[in-house]
Amino acid sequence: MNFLFRKKMMTSVAMTAVATMIIIVPWDNPRGNDPLEIMAQHQQFSLPSWTIRALSQKFSPIYGTIGLSDENVLDSYFNLIKQKTTSNQNIGDSSTDIQTLRIAAENIIARKIMKYFKNNSVGTYVFGDLFPPLLFKFEEPPYVLIISPRNSIEIQKTKLLKQDLDLSQIEHLEKIGADQNLSVFITRVGGIATFPSFIAPPMNLHQAMTLVIHEWVHHYLFFQPLGKNYWASPEMTTLNESAADLISHEIAALIQPKTSATTPIQTTTRVDYNRMNVPRILRQTRLKTENLLAESRIEEAEAFMEKQRQFLNANGVPIRKLNQAFFAFNGSYAMGPESTSPIGRELLMIRNKSDSIADFLEKIRGVDSIENFNQLVEAK
């Protein structure tokens, strides 16, 4: 079986299997008179058309070849992202040259990651090729609409929305949800495990690798018990996200070369997130909110969250909305400041008892329930 045929075969299998694995709970078509579902459906992001377009660009022979060294390609691409970000321009493929530069940068980053994977036995290989394939596109991801009940902090539904929503449209959808006695939060994310993965245009090489590896881990786990049980419970969602976080940050730190392309870019709008110990403030805010909700003091909890949001904004930490849906969404990352889950700490314990990141991935991929995970944590 020749290499080209194998590659095409693997890509075909991955497209049909992995493309269905979007870390989003789908809604059916709008039914009845639910105004939020109807309005969200009008703003829904079309994933099938985007997937076809992204894959056709990825495998087109006219893109991705450029007469520059790898370092110069990365420098040029990250400088372009910096220019567009500081000028608030949309980061898209406005010309063939920009598209070629983007794909060239993607190919370089993919090679670096796959080299590390192969040298360290990370992942599964079919006929010598990594499976699932490492496919991604640097593009502003769609917005994600998150719904939580008002009386608790938990993800009830999510939906992908168009990339070009403006603030008035976002606030209108959130208000419709509030009118239905729901907590709604709409935001962008750094990446989504579509196929290819949606990765927000990164500012440097370390960020690029972290985001790309995070989403690939979701692709890999999709074929394992851990990923198959992503939505089995809020704890399993947190476990999946936190495992991807831990793995991606560790590997990215190990393979990041010390070049100008990896230097973090500072912008005039950057906020020192730790200046006021924001992680501690958010964690305390969530804990108090959970206590108030447990006592059915919903209005008091919402007033407290708004007070905390205004305090953070007044001190240079811009948070547009702080509500139950915000904490439900961000709390699925147990390594992050908004989470009160012990899962992040427990994953670190398992990692410290593992010989390598490949060994760690081998241990956790078979977890199919939070009870199974607890047994793994307690194992000597």
Question: pLDDT band at residue 258, thresholds of 50, 70 and 90?
Answer: very low
**DSSP 8-state class, residue 266:** P
Q: In 3D, which of 348, 341, 339 has the Cα closest to residue 370? A: 341
Question: What does each C-alpha distance from 42 to 37, 156, 188, 317 come to in angstroms?
Answer: 9, 20, 18, 32
Residue 341 lies in a domain: no
Higher pLDDT among residues 354 and 55, named by residue: 354
Q: What residues make up the domain containing 248?
A: 3-140+192-262
pLDDT, the chain, mean: 83
Domain contains 377: no
The H or E element containing residue 265 is none
pLDDT beyond 90 at 251? yes
pLDDT for position 234? 87
90 lies in a domain?
Answer: yes
- The amino acid occupying position 226 is L
Closest CA to 82 of 213, 259, 269: 269
> Residue 280's pLDDT is what?
87
Residue 36 lies in a domain: yes
Question: What integer pLDDT is reported at residue 90 of this predicted model?
Answer: 59
Percent of all residues in the chain with a pLDDT value above 70, rounded to a whole number: 79
**Which residue, chain included where needed, has tokens 């070369």?**
257
Q: Give residue 173's pLDDT.
A: 94
Determine contact, residues 160/40, Cβ cutoff 8 Å. Answer: no
The angle formed by the CA atoms of residues 138, 9 and 248, to the nearest 5 degrees, is: 40
**pLDDT for the residue 14:** 41
pLDDT at 62: 55
pLDDT at 123 over 50: yes
Rounded to an integer, what distance in angstroms lies between the CA atom of residue 246 and that of residue 262?
A: 20
User: In which band, very low, low, confident or very high, does the pLDDT at 202 lie, cut at 50, 70 and 90?
Assistant: very high
Is residue 166 in some structural domain? no
Q: Work out the average pLDDT over 354-377.
A: 96
Q: Which residue has the higher pLDDT, 200 or 67?
A: 200
Q: What is the rounded CA–CA span in Å between residue 136 and residue 55?
A: 9
350 versus 41: which is more confidently predicted? 350
Is pLDDT above 80 for 228?
A: yes
**What distance in Å separates the CA atoms of residue 134 and residue 87, rounded to the nearest whole number?**
31
Per-residue pLDDT at 59: 72
Bigger pLDDT: 270 vs 378 = 378
Amino acid at 189: V
Mean pLDDT of 47-56: 86
Give whole-number Cα distances, 300 to 285, 287, 296, 367, in Å.
12, 14, 9, 38
Please tell me the least confidently modeled range out of 89-98, 168-177, 335-344. 89-98
Checking if the pLDDT of 101 tops 50, the result is yes
Maximal CA-CA distance, the chain: 66
- Position 64 scores a pLDDT of 55
Q: Is residue 366 part of a domain?
A: no
How far apart are the C-alpha atoms of 220 and 253, rounded to whole Å?
20
Name the CA radius of gyration of the chain, rounded: 21
Q: What pTM did the predictor assign?
A: 0.80
pLDDT at 19 over 50: no
| Strand (E) or helix (H) holding 361 | helix 357-364
Higher pLDDT, 350 or 54: 350
Q: Which of 58-72, 132-146, 252-266, 325-339 has the lowest mean pLDDT?
A: 252-266
Q: Is residue 199 part of a domain?
A: yes
| Total domain count, the chain | 1
pLDDT (average), residues 127-154: 94
Residue 165 in this model has a pLDDT that exceeds 80: yes
Q: Identify the pLDDT of residue 335.
A: 58
Q: Which tokens go with 285?
A: 């805010």
pLDDT beyond 70 at 166: yes
329 falls within a domain: no
300: left (phi over 0), alpha (psi -120 to 50) or beta: alpha
Q: What pLDDT sits at residue 82?
A: 87
Query: 184 with 36: CB under 8 angstroms?
Result: yes
* Measured distance CA(62)–CA(67) in Å, rounded: 13
Is-contact 356 120, C-beta < 8 A? yes
Residue carrying structure tokens 């022979």: 61
